[in-house]
Structure 1
Amino acid sequence: MNGKFIFLLAAPLLFAGCASEKGGDVYSRDQVQQVQHFKVGTVESVHKVRIEGTQSQVGTTAGAIVGGIAGSGASGGKTGQVAAVLGAVVGGMAGAAAEEGYTREDGNEYSIKLEDGSYISVVQAVSKDIDIKAGDKVRIIENDGVTRVVPF
C-alpha cells in the first residue's frame, strides 16, 4: 500500500511536466540567439480566447498506471486481473482528461493593423507581465513559424 500511495502522490508531478506557456514573453531554447524579424502595428481589438490543453501520452500513461495499480488491489485472482485492466482503462481516460484540463490556458486574440495598412490576427497565452490593450503600438515578432505580440 505504501508504494501505491507514493505513486499517487507523484502523479501530479508527471502532469506538471506537460504544462507549457505560449505567451509573448516565453521563448523556446531553439529561438534564443536567432535573428527574429518584426513588424510594427497598432492593436485594433483584443478578444479573450481559451487555448486547449496538450493531449500527449503522458496523462494517459500516468492515469493507466495509477488506475491499474489501484484496480489490482481490489481483489486477488481473475477478479483482481479484470479490476486491474478496468482500472488501467478508466485511469488512462481520466489521466488524458486531467492533462488536457491542467494544460489549458487563457489567451488573447489580437487584431492588429500593420503600418502598411494590412491586418493580421495573432493568438497567444495571457501573460501576467505583458498587458496589451486596443490602441497600443506593438511589435509582431516572427521566427520559424512562431509569432508573438509584444509592446513596442
Structure 2
Amino acid sequence: MLLFCRCGQAMTLSFRMLVFENMYQIDLVPILECEDCSTYELIPSFKQDVTKLLAELKEQQREGRVIFTSVNELASVLYDVYKSGQELLEVSSFNAFLIEKCEERINLLLDLYGYASKEGDADWMEAISFRLSSLSSFVKKRQFLETK
C-alpha cells in the first residue's frame, strides 16, 4: 500500500500497541509507518473507534490490554489482509482487495446471523449485527484511506 509521509518517503501498513496513561493498552491498532523518519500515524478511519474504545475502558475502569482486532471488525479484516502480504499493493488495488475481503466477511457473518436466528439467540444476533454494521458502512463508502 503506497502512501507518502510528510518527509516524502513511502509509508507502510503496520499494527502497534497504543498505551494511554500507562494504564490502557490497545494492541493491534492499524497504523501507517514511515521507516525513513520513524514516524507513524493512526489510520484516519480508525481514530473515532480507538477514541470510543478508550472512553469505554476508562468508564468501566478496565485497565490492561485489549486486542483492537477483536473489537473492531474492519481492523480484523485489515489484519488478515496484512498477514497475507497484500499490504504491498498500490492503494487502488489494496482498497479493491480489502473491499473483497470485507464482502467475504459480511457473507460469513450473515450466515452466522441466520444460524443464530434459527437458534433463537438474540444476544448472538445483536453481536453479529454490531459486527456487520461497521463492515457494511465501509463497503458502502468504498474508500479506506482518506486523503489529506
Normalising to structure 1: TM-score of the pair? 0.26
Q: Which structure exhibits the higher relative contact order, with contacts defined as CA atoms closer than 8 Å and separated by 6 or more residues?
A: 1
Which of the two has greater strand per residue? 1
Which of the two has greater helix per residue? 2
Structure whose alpha-carbon radius of gyration is higher = 1
